[in-house]
Copies of this chain bind each other. A is one copy, B any other.
Amino acid sequence: MTAAPPVPLRVALLGCGTVGSAVLRLIEDQADDLTARIGRPVEVVGIAVRRPAHHPDVPQHLLTTDAAALVARDDVDLVVEVIGGIEPARSLMYAAFASGKSVVSANKALLAEDGPALHAAAAEAGVDLYYEAAVAGAIPLLRPLRESLAGDQLRRVVGIVNGTTNYILSRMAETGAGFAEALAEATELGYAEADPTADVDGFDAAAKAAILASLAFHTPVSSADVYREGISAVSATDVARAAEIGCTVKLLAICERVPNGAGTDTVAVRVHPAMIPTTHPLAAVGGAFNAVFVEAEAAGQLMFYGQGAGGEPTASAVLGDLVAVARNRVAGASGQGPTGYADLAIRPMAETPTRYHVSLDVADRPGVLAAVAQEFARQDVSISTVRQTGRGDAATLVIVTHSAPDAALSATIAALRDMPAVRGVTSVLRVEGLS
């Protein structure tokens, strides 16, 4: 007598673009492995797409345009959501939880907008919501933050989490090109979307920063809490000035726990281009790669590096989550979700300490440096270094400040722009990681 074959775990796949089709392929290629790891085979029982005719390579009987009906099916155990965007993904996710199904998602926008409510719904239903693929593609990052470092206290998470902007900035540094030229090249090579707004203006990075900060600091942080500046204003001059002081320009997602004398720390989350020293581990991260640098109280400095996008790498992260939620389903348990117990206040950007690099065109005559320095002093901003190049009418002052509240720095820049002795403010960028 042979044992009955184990009942497969049945998966509904929502979306079948680059990531979805890679997920489908991996589930097929790794079928034996998945069965061994989970204890039961995995079977995709339905795929929701908008236009079935666009998916000739997929088993046609699996395709449906009715995602809501697919999620509600009694014979579906788990839902993989790789549609992206807010709706209909959000409604489908709530429907999945309501019918007792765990969800694996790659949806950074939705998680960053509505994470706490989604987690609450999953917890209430006793099911899992995992989304490793939402941040930094294939890099195992959310699970380490959530689980491996659960006994430590995180101070800082600084990452290059958007490959498109990193490619553009890398090319600007390599070729001396301006932003527009480098963007055009990235678009032509397929590294930038036809509408590059989400990447170039930092929306994508801000969503990832919100997710990282939420996990790192056990505090609900949404996209709206993230200060955001994109890279479209980064000029060839900025990149050249950075090189002059041994730095390179990167779009950083920075999540910090800011100590507060009164014992109540705050959380500051921001996305903006910054100069970092070329000796910083993040400086060497080129092209479309992602990397995230973590500083924890006991663990010290950690870095995670890998491919941040692409169908296969993202699908790898989706499958890791799928194995976890499938195992939980088999065991009748649910996994370690994020917690929001710390619930720290969000520190506004104006109060967040930063450092600036400022480059000014000035007339080289007595008193100009004193007048410029006076503007910094007026805002209580202390200067770290000043360098003057050129003489006469074409002099340039390059100033790097010490750390000061961001509002004081931006007020100083505004005042400098109004000074008669300043012909132009040719470069302003924040500086990170300089000692």
Interface on A for B, CB 8 Å cutoff? 22, 26, 30, 33-34, 36-37, 132, 138-140, 143-144, 147-153, 218, 281, 284, 296-307, 310, 312-313, 315-320, 322-324, 327, 331-334, 336, 339, 341-342
Contacts and interface: CB of A to CB of B under 8 A. Distances in A.
Residue among A22, A152, A297, A313 with the highest chain B CB neighbour number at 10 A: A152
B151 A140 contact: no
B140 A33 contact: no
8 contacts: A140-B143, A144-B144, A144-B148, A149-B316, A297-B316, A298-B313, A302-B304, A323-B336
Contacts of A144: 140, 143-144, 148
A152 B316 contact: yes
Contacts of A302: 138-140, 304-307
A342 B30 CA distance: 12
A312 B301 CA distance: 12
A342 B34 CA distance: 12
A300 B305 contact: no
Contacts of A34: 151
B305 A281 contact: yes
Nearest to A331: B333
Contact of A151 (B148, B319, B333): B319
B303 A307 contact: no
Q: Which 6 A-B pairs have the closest CB atoms?
A: A151-B319, A140-B148, A140-B144, A138-B299, A302-B306, A299-B316
B323 A300 contact: no
Contact of A305 (B140, B218, B303): B303
B151 A132 contact: no
Contacts of A306: 299-303
A316 B218 contact: no
Residue among A153, A299, A331, A334 with the highest chain B CB neighbour number at 10 A: A299
Given A37-B339, A140-B302, A299-B307, 13 more contacts: A22-B298, A140-B144, A140-B148, A143-B147, A144-B148, A147-B323, A296-B316, A298-B312, A300-B306, A300-B310, A300-B312, A301-B306, A302-B305
A365 to B, nearest CB: 46
Contacts of A152: 26, 30, 316, 319-320
Nearest to A293: B305
